[in-house]
């Protein structure tokens, strides 16, 4: 974030990792990172939960990758134990 603030870029800028993960995978990665047993997490699908929302939601960080000198790490690397 410091690299974004220090830049002269104005306007919205999506800053996320280069790899896409599902909501479930993200939750499991966070649990493992903080020492929680991921087998204790209950998962479901949007359909099973009765939710109507987009199945795939991704931020396009290609502009940030071009503008910033900071390497955007993937979530698996960022949340590694």
Tens of pLDDT, residue by residue over 51-69, are 998 888 888 888 888 888 8
* Residue 79 and residue 32 in contact, taking contact as beta carbons nearer than 8 Å: yes
Specify the pLDDT at position 10: 87
Q: What are the tokens at 45?
A: 């699908």
What is the Cα gyration radius of the chain? 16
Mean pLDDT of the chain: 87
pTM above 0.85, yes or no: no
Among residues 80, 81, 4, the alpha carbon closest in space to that of 19 is found at 80
């Amino acid at each position: 974030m410091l690299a974004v603030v220090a830049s002269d870029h104005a306007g919205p800028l999506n800053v996320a990792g280069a790899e896409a993960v599902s909501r479930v995978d993200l939750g499991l990665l966070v649990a493992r990172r903080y020492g929680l047993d991921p087998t204790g997490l209950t998962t479901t699908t949007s359909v099973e939960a009765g939710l109507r929302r987009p199945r795939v939601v991704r931020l396009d960080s290609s502009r940030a990758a071009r503008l910033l000198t900071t390497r955007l790490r993937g979530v698996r690397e960022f949340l590694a134990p």
